[in-house]
Amino acid sequence: MPVTRRGSDVKHTGTKNVNTVPAINGWHWVLTGFALFRKSPAMWGFLALSYIMLMQLLGMIPVFGWFAATVLIPAFSASFMIASRALDQGGKLRFDLLLSGFKSNLPALLGQGGLYLASGLAILGLSALVDGGLLLQLMVLGAKPPAAAFEDGSLAAAAMLAATLYLPVLAAFWFAPALSSWRNMSALQALFYSFFAALRNWRAFFAYGLALVLLSLACGFALFVLALLVRGMFGNKSQDAFVLVMLPVMLTYVPTLFASFYASYRDVFPDADNAPAGEIAADAQ
């Protein structure tokens, strides 16, 4: 069933026209993301693969590459928001949209990137209190942790602490790129409104998280079945063949995830030209 936009379902607030949506909308964000992916799967896959490869290339540069890639995340997030919106409104995906976020309030987006980097380093620094800095070295330097860190659980504990501390950061940055890009907000203003909009819609985000878990399990099961088939068909060469099989699954999941970010923004921060979230989600069913 598509989500309807009845007044009883969506609550409007006076601050920047922020909606409080029902929990079921979180499920439809994923459906909307998949419906948008289905409109142009080949170009979506090309954009997602190009982004992943670019970030991987940056990550190969010691230390600086990780810093640069992290700072650029909000600008690329804005790019995928713009690409999703263009497709949603009847346009076509183009390769140049991958860099469209760099043409829209770039100072604010780079400011967000700097704050995102600072937040990440602060979280990793706090996690060092648990594992002595092993997670920090892994993320920033790519240093492989010793086997003892896995055996005594210190690395896992540090990762759990980092994930917990990351949740409010994620809330602050969730809508921020789109708010700076489309509503010309400063970095701090966008982070402020994003955080409280996400907090206000925690039920929808909880449902969204469950939907992503189910999607991840479905993709994992599909890969498992494909792995068995590939092993049976190719024998000793199955590992190389499996990479080719895994690629289309990844290039379906990642674009769906990116497009679902746009779906959540469209629900919570509706613009005059945005269509109701349920309309395109119904296409996925």
Which string of DSSP letters, residue by residue, matches 174-234? HSHHHHHHHH---HHHHHHHHHHHHHHTHHHHHHHHHHHHHHHHHHHHHHHHHHHHHHHHH
Residue with tokens 């690409």: 83
The answer to whether residue 13 scores a pLDDT higher than 60 is no
The answer to whether residue 246 scores a pLDDT higher than 90 is no
Strands 11-12 and 19-20: antiparallel
Q: How large is the average pLDDT for residues 26-40?
A: 95
The answer to whether residue 270 scores a pLDDT higher than 50 is yes
Name the β-bridge partners of 11: 20
Cα 144 versus chain centre, distance? 26
Residue 30: the pLDDT is 95
Angle between helices 154-174 and 106-131 (to 10 degrees): 160
Residue 242: the pLDDT is 63
* CA distances, 157 to each of 55, 146, 147, 161, 239 (Å): 27, 15, 15, 6, 32
pLDDT category of residue 226 using cuts at 50, 70 and 90 = confident
DSSP 8-state secondary structure symbol assigned to residue 143: P
Q: How large is the average pLDDT for residues 101-122?
A: 95
Residue 283: the pLDDT is 38
Residue 240: the pLDDT is 61
The answer to whether residue 119 scores a pLDDT higher than 70 is yes
Strand, helix or coil for residue 90: coil
Mean pLDDT score across all residues of the chain: 84
The answer to whether residue 117 scores a pLDDT higher than 70 is yes
Contact by Cβ (8 Å): 100, 82: yes
Residue 237: the pLDDT is 58
Which carries the bigger pLDDT value, residue 8 or residue 114? 114
The answer to whether residue 88 scores a pLDDT higher than 70 is yes
Q: How large is the average pLDDT for residues 130-142?
A: 83
State percent of the chain over pLDDT 90. 58
Which carries the bigger pLDDT value, residue 194 or residue 274? 194
Average the pLDDT over each of 77-81, 152-156, 235-239 and give the range with the smallest value: 235-239
The answer to whether residue 266 scores a pLDDT higher than 70 is yes
Cα separation, 19 vs 10, in Å, equals 6
The amino acid occupying position 206 is F
The answer to whether residue 22 scores a pLDDT higher than 60 is yes
Contact by Cβ (8 Å): 257, 212: yes
Which carries the bigger pLDDT value, residue 199 or residue 2? 199
The answer to whether residue 186 scores a pLDDT higher than 90 is yes
Tokens of 175: 């809508």
State percent of the chain over pLDDT 70. 83
Q: How large is the average pLDDT for residues 46-68?
A: 90
DSSP 8-state secondary structure symbol assigned to residue 152: S
Which residues are within 8 A (CB) of 47 and not within 5 positions of it... i.e. 6 or more apart? 80, 83, 93, 95, 97, 98, 255
Average the pLDDT over each of 13-22, 112-121, 177-186 and give the range with the smallest value: 13-22
Cα separation, 82 vs 180, in Å, equals 12
Cα separation, 186 vs 204, in Å, equals 26
Cα separation, 271 vs 204, in Å, equals 19
pLDDT category of residue 239 using cuts at 50, 70 and 90 = low
pLDDT category of residue 154 using cuts at 50, 70 and 90 = confident
